[in-house]
Chain A
Amino acid sequence: MSFVTVENLFQSYGRRPILERVNLTAEEGEFVSIVGASGCGKSTFLRLLLDQERPTRGEITVDGQPLRGEPDRSRGIVFQRYSVFPHLTVRDNIVAAEGLSRPLGRLFGTVKRAARARAEAALERIGLAHVADQYPAALSGGMQQRLAIAQALAAKPRILLLDEPFGALDPGTREQMHAFLQDLRAETRMTVFMVTHDLPEAFKLGDRVIVFDKTRWDPHDPAAYGATITYDFDARNGGFPYQLQEDQDDLERDEDHPVASPGRPADA
């Protein structure tokens, strides 16, 4: 039995279909990258996994249990923006991961002190200890996303969902965040679904890269059909798809006879 099972999933908004016949199984501990053109339903799929909205048809089960209709602690999320609470200091943002599940949404007394100590340790590990007393608005984009990931992980979810988490970061920061995420993942071995626009990122981080696209296309009515999973690449082995390994070898051989050299028009 697979950990996450998506069966015959359909989603439409009003009369506009977004997703059609999506089937997917993922094992526990797998890192699944989700790519596709804008508006192809990647983020919709993530929201369905999060249980933020209900599918029109079909079912998602996690560990054999169907989703219950609203987000909960078993699935953590990091959005591109607005993922941390602006009114809490960096440290309290981590503490909130424990406090919010209490009846009044906060901790008191010794429990609070223990949680603050754990938060301190977590911040030390992700290199944010020196800004523990600052508010998120004072942090750079990369630091905010590091905080958002740490906050999501502090709730110990079984599945981590990432919705273009590094989309707003500059390339250097993005590299650092990749290393950060890979370290965390090596530690926790948790299941991750990540939506991204960045193909190299998808192959670098993921064990699998799944592609959402429309299989049917009406040029007079582009919104007539929904998207589904059209490719499911194995992204291990350094990100080179297993299927393309032979093509890769061919390419390397062809390099002795360049097709077009720089400075010459390609069609000449």
Chain B
Amino acid sequence: MRLINRRAGPVSRVALAALPFVLVGLAYASASAARLAENPQDRVLPSPATLLDTAVRLMTDEDRRSGEILFWGDTLSSLTLLFSGVGIAAVIGLCVGLAIGLVPLVRTSLQGFVAVLSMIPPLALLPILFISLGVGDAAKVALIAIGITPFLIRDLAARTMELPQEQLVKAQTLGASTLSIALSVALPQIMPRLLSALRLSLGPAWLFLIAAEAVASDSGLGYRIFLVRRFLAMDVILTYVAWITFLAFAIDWLLAQASRRLYPWAEVRA
């Protein structure tokens, strides 16, 4: 039987899906064991048991100075910044993208401008943001928003322009104004596109967040990673990285579920 026609059965499906995770885990465990056998004080590849201990300690132990659990404080701080930045970007991206996609005059005026804007490397703007907005939260939210807004605008404008011309003409023959076409024909149809565009832009959003936190901050997941780097605390770094990965994955999954739940009609076509 040809390879392209072979499918996994129910059991082998689970096994195949788990295989890469298991392999990476094994590779790590053996490398760690090898290093620790050579030097029990080695800090570069802590053993899985140490990692687990560290994770439990991070999630439960209070900080001696502030009395708070830093891990959860960092998580709250980072997620607040991330959601603020992504939220602002989503609103701007939706409004401007819809306007560019639907209104030829706006398209003529803004399409080239947005294309140029989207070529500016956002991280190069970070110093400007720190200088103009200070080193507080505003600059970090701004970096995330600036980083992903051009992509959202361009993607949503393209999706809006993909709406069949027939639908827009049909709406006009039913007496719809530009505003009611935007609100009742175009907007509901690009909402699922917004959710999938947001899923794609979450990766960059985390990148900008951690970069900004690494440069100047006093809390946050990225801040903590770059802080403990000085003490070579690989166990803390790895725990934080795993936690960030889990958060990103969970948000992505929630967005996918939301899209399926809220826009069932979009599934049929896709």
Q: How far is the CA of A88 from the CA of B174 in the complex (A)?
A: 15
Q: How far is the CA of A137 from the CA of B174 in the complex (A)?
A: 21
Is the CB of A75 closer than 8 A to any CB of chain B?
A: yes
Q: How far is the CA of A136 from the CA of B185 in the complex (A)?
A: 15
Interchain CB contact under 8 A, A103 and B179: yes
Contact of B180 among A52, A104, A138 (CB under 8 A): A104
Interchain CB contact under 8 A, B173 and A72: yes
Q: How far is the CA of A105 from the CA of B179 in the complex (A)?
A: 7
Q: Which residues of B contact A87 (CB under 8 A)?
A: 188-189, 263, 265-266
Q: Which residues of B contact A105 (CB under 8 A)?
A: 176-177, 179-185
Contact of A97 among B172, B174, B180, B182 (CB under 8 A): B174
Q: Which residues of A contact B266 (CB under 8 A)?
A: 87
Shortest A135–chain B CB gap in Å is 4
Interchain CB contact under 8 A, A137 and B173: no
Partner-contacting stretch, out of A77-85, A230-238, A243-251: A77-85
Is the CB of A41 closer than 8 A to any CB of chain B?
A: no
Q: Which residues of A contact B177 (CB under 8 A)?
A: 101, 103, 105
Q: How far is the CA of A82 from the CA of B189 in the complex (A)?
A: 13
A33-71, CB < 8 A from B: 50, 52, 70-71
Is the CB of B9 closer than 8 A to any CB of chain A?
A: no
Is the CB of B38 closer than 8 A to any CB of chain A?
A: no
Q: Size class of B's contact patch?
A: 20 to 34
Q: How far is the CA of A157 from the CA of B172 in the complex (A)?
A: 12
Is the CB of A76 closer than 8 A to any CB of chain B?
A: yes
Interchain CB contact under 8 A, A104 and B183: yes
| Contact A96:B174 (CB < 8 A) given known A103-B180, A104-B179, A137-B265 | yes
Q: How far is the CA of A249 from the CA of B39 in the complex (A)?
A: 109
Q: How far is the CA of A105 from the CA of B181 in the complex (A)?
A: 7
Q: How far is the CA of A85 from the CA of B188 in the complex (A)?
A: 10
Chain A-chain B contacts (Cβ-Cβ < 8 Å), number: 99
Q: How far is the CA of A71 from the CA of B177 in the complex (A)?
A: 11
Q: How far is the CA of A99 from the CA of B174 in the complex (A)?
A: 9
Contact of A71 among B172, B179, B189 (CB under 8 A): B172
Is the CB of A106 closer than 8 A to any CB of chain B?
A: yes
Interchain CB contact under 8 A, B184 and A100: yes
Is the CB of A127 closer than 8 A to any CB of chain B?
A: no
Chain A residue nearest in CB terms to B175: A101
Interchain CB contact under 8 A, B175 and A72: yes
Interchain CB contact under 8 A, B264 and A135: yes
Shortest A205–chain B CB gap in Å is 21
Interchain CB contact under 8 A, B173 and A96: no
> 1/0 per position for B181-210, CB-CB distance to A under 8 A?
111110011000000000000000000000
Q: Which residues of B contact A103 (CB under 8 A)?
A: 177, 179-180
Interchain CB contact under 8 A, B173 and A77: yes
Chain B residue nearest in CB terms to A76: B173
Interchain CB contact under 8 A, A73 and B175: yes
Contact of B176 among A82, A100, A137, A152 (CB under 8 A): A100
B229-270, CB < 8 A from A: 263-266, 268-269
Is the CB of A119 closer than 8 A to any CB of chain B?
A: no
Q: Which residues of A contact B268 (CB under 8 A)?
A: 135, 137-138
Is the CB of B171 closer than 8 A to any CB of chain A?
A: yes
| Contact A73:B184 (CB < 8 A) given known A79-B166, A137-B265 | no
| Contact A155:B263 (CB < 8 A) given known A105-B183, A106-B184 | no
Interchain CB contact under 8 A, A96 and B184: yes
A163-182, CB < 8 A from B: none
Q: Which residues of A contact B67 (CB under 8 A)?
A: none
Interchain CB contact under 8 A, B173 and A81: no
| Contact A101:B174 (CB < 8 A) given known A50-B169, A137-B268 | yes
Q: How far is the CA of A76 from the CA of B184 in the complex (A)?
A: 19
Best-buried of A52, A71, A106 by chain B (most CB within 10 Å): A71
Shortest A96–chain B CB gap in Å is 7
- The 26 sampled A-B contact pairs (Cβ below 8 Å) are A71-B172, A73-B173, A76-B173, A77-B173, A79-B166, A79-B169, A81-B166, A83-B167, A83-B170, A84-B170, A86-B269, A87-B189, A87-B265, A96-B174, A100-B174, A100-B176, A100-B181, A100-B184, A102-B180, A103-B179, A103-B180, A105-B180, A105-B185, A106-B180, A137-B268, A138-B268
User: Besides A82-B167, A101-B177, 8 other CB < 8 A contacts?
Assistant: A81-B166, A83-B167, A87-B266, A101-B176, A105-B176, A136-B265, A138-B268, A155-B175
Please give me the 7 A-B residue pairs with the lowest Cβ-Cβ distance, nearest first: A105-B180, A101-B175, A105-B184, A100-B176, A82-B164, A137-B268, A82-B166
